Amino acid sequence: MVAATTTVLSRRQAANQNHREIQNGQSAALNHAVRLIHAVCGLAGSANLIDKIRADLRADKVTAAIRNRDTGPVFDWLMAAVSYQGISDQIAYSYMKKHGRATWRQIKEGLDRASCPKLKSYWHFHDCRYDKVSRTCAKPEHIHRCPLPKHNLRNGRLNQTAHSLFLFIRDVTDGDLVGWIDGQLQGSDSLPGSDRLARLRASLIEPLREVYGVSDKVLTMALSSILLGAPKSMSLWIEVGASTIAIDTLVHNFLYRTGILHWFDATHVYGLACYRPGGCAEIIQIVAEHIDARQFNPTFPRTFARFVQHAIWRYCSQNGLDICNGNRIDDNRRCENKDCRARLMCDRVVLRQRKQ
């Protein structure tokens, strides 16, 4: 226990040191990043970001569920969000509209009739190995009574994710996901320090990261929306939601192409390194601390990392401004996109160089 605590403290100390170095020792890098990203926020920032999130959650009855500590609608919304990973939004949406989703009520009823020992608890469910195409699993003698195949989800991985998340909520949070989130945040908010928000985010993300088939990107995006969409009285939820950043390839590649990663001496390939100290997420967090989001909407929090990250994504995405992406830029040469209004501030780094 002492060794584990020491390791955690060492990681926090290293993260704090890295944060101080970026803030104080690399002002040229910070100035370059703030100037460029501030321009992108002005061009692509969504001034109604929080309103839109809240409207979407209200439509799915999630806001009321948070207020009433009703787990079912929150689970149903989370599973819909998870279903978008690994495929285009339109394909995922069309499939769910045609075939339906796995809901809290359906899974609960299915588990009540299940005989498989893998479905006994969240911890027993490890290594289920259900495959939709071959209709095989780790316990084939029980598959005739297994509830997983009853849900016509896009692939067997999502069937496993739905049951893993259900069992996590049932067994780890005692069926009260809203109460668990509130308890995790309150319990991690007792110690001061520059890593406070990182500690609060980790109190949610690290346990949920163990749910089968949930990627960091989708998990952070979903949690950010739930936290930002909470009733306004739940100020701690909203504060943490505003600081929660999801890094996808568009955001990572933007930071690479613009030279921001190079300026911070933080060049890395897309993946887990984006969330490590000094990676994409921390760079965006620090830049966000130097951009007053209230200039874009007076009701926004002053520091709004989620807004900054979303503005970068929207600047790049085909569904947004469609400026900085692989469709517009030949990744084997410097960007020649004359439509980019941030062009004069951008280093136009060749993306493919990182793969040599």
Quote the pLDDT of residue 356.
40
In Å, what is the CA distance from 204 to each residue of 90, 218, 290, 304, 345?
Answer: 29, 14, 26, 19, 37
In Å, what is the CA distance from 140 to each residue of 9, 20, 122, 130, 135?
Answer: 45, 54, 19, 9, 9
Of 112, 102, 151, 108, give the one whose Cα is nearest residue 130: 151
Of 326, 322, 323, give the one whose Cα is nearest residue 342: 323
Residues 29 and 63 in one domain: no
Residues 192 and 232 in one domain: yes
CB 270 within 8 A of CB 249: yes
Run of H or E including 284: helix 280-288
Residues 82 and 182 in one domain: yes
In a domain, 5, yes or no: no
pTM of the model: 0.86
Terminal-to-terminal C-alpha distance of the chain: 43
Q: What is the DSSP string of 16-47?
A: HHHHHIIIII-HHHHHHHHHHHHHHHHHH--T
Domain end, chosen from 178, 211, 242, is at: 242
Residues 232 and 111 in one domain: yes
The DSSP output letter for 87 is S
In a domain, 233, yes or no: yes
CB 185 within 8 A of CB 223: no
Quote the pLDDT of residue 3.
46
Residues spanned by the domain of 147: 51-242
CB 111 within 8 A of CB 132: no
Domain end, chosen from 194, 217, 242, is at: 242
Residues 93 and 210 in one domain: yes
In a domain, 256, yes or no: yes
CB 228 within 8 A of CB 241: yes
Of 186, 92, 171, give the one whose Cα is nearest residue 124: 171
Rounded distance between C-alpha atoms, residue 301 and residue 235, angstroms: 11
Domain end, chosen from 191, 212, 242, is at: 242
Quote the pLDDT of residue 38.
98
Residues 79 and 149 in one domain: yes
Residue ranges, the chain, pLDDT below 70:
1-26, 353-356
| Number of Cβ within a 10 Å radius of residue 52 | 13
Rounded distance between C-alpha atoms, residue 176 and residue 84, angstroms: 25
In a domain, 4, yes or no: no
Residues in the chain: 356
| CA quadruple 163, 167, 168, 170: dihedral, nearest 10 | 140
Residues 111 and 208 in one domain: yes
In a domain, 145, yes or no: yes
Residues 84 and 197 in one domain: yes
Number of structural domains, the chain?
2
Residues 219 and 87 in one domain: yes
Rounded distance between C-alpha atoms, residue 156 and residue 131, angstroms: 5
CB 198 within 8 A of CB 107: no
CB 96 within 8 A of CB 152: no
Quote the pLDDT of residue 31.
94
Residues 164 and 279 in one domain: no
